[in-house]
Structure 1
Amino acid sequence: MVTRAVITLPNPVKAGKVFEVRATVAHAMETGYRTSDDGTRLPRDLVRRFECRLDGELVFAADLYAAISANPYLAFWMRAGQSCELTFSWRGDNGFEHRETRALTVA
């Protein structure tokens, strides 16, 4: 299965200034409470954890639960003092794991 993520970063950002990061990942987010047409319960399949790391240091994390919609979208604010690498990771049920890396240019 191919997973698609969309990450939005300003480019470049100003050193020490706060900026917004937006990230979403394509995932159905099945809660485990619904049933199929034949009445069998659909198995739970959720993204459970999102993390963003700046050069390996955790800068934002979120634990996600069944109330989160499909294709979970997260937005948060951060600052950086120099150009670096941001790593985004999503982990979930049934061995789901997706990771993306973006270069962040600081001017």
Structure 2
Amino acid sequence: MPEAIKLRASWQEDIAEIRLMMPHPMETGQRKDPESGKLVAAHFIETFTVSANGQELVRGQLNTSIARNPLFSFYARGVRPGDRIDVVWIDNKGETRRDQFILASK
């Protein structure tokens, strides 16, 4: 199973900044293996969603041009400490990662 997603949240008044790091190799399919000389197969996150207490906050679609272990940051109003955040990604090989977080106090 892929490494766990990492999440950090900080608040300024009633607006939360949520930062996610999604560990993933994010291969483009254009890099050659140095030993065999063959192309490394494409392997990248295609879609991800972030929900707070079951309400979708963000839905994203990625492609091969995103770097390994992508980091995303976004702002959300009305998200509070103690809320449950669910993050799910699906990659082009059908692998899925789902992690759940409870936001720590400010």
The bucket for the TM-score relative to the shorter chain is 0.7 to 0.9
Residues 81/92 of structure 1: CA separation in 2 closer, same or farther (3 Å cut): closer
Alignment RMSD (CA, Å): 2.2
Encode CA deviations 1:10-55: one digit per residue, 9 max, x unaligned. 3xx58x8111000002111001112223222211100111210112
Quote the Cα distance in structure 1 between the aligned partners of 2:79 and 2:67.
Answer: 34
Q: Identify unmatched segments of 5+ residues in structure 2.
A: none
SS state at 1:34 partner:
coil
- Give the structure 2 partner of residue 8 of structure 1: 8
Distance 1:106 1:39 in 2: 50
Q: Classify the secondary structure of the residue corresponding to 1:43.
A: coil
1:43 aligns with 2:45: no
Give the share of equivalent positions with the same residue, in percent: 21
What TM-score comes out, normalization by structure 1 length?
0.82
Distance apart, 1:104 and its partner CA: 3.2
Task: Point out the more displaced range, 62-71 or 81-90.
Answer: 81-90
Contact 2:45 2:90 in 1 (8 A): yes
CA distance in 2, matches of 1:32, 1:67: 10
- TM-score normalized by the length of structure 2: 0.83
* Residue equivalent to 1:88: 87
Q: Contact 2:8 / 2:18 at 8 angstroms: preserved in 1?
A: yes
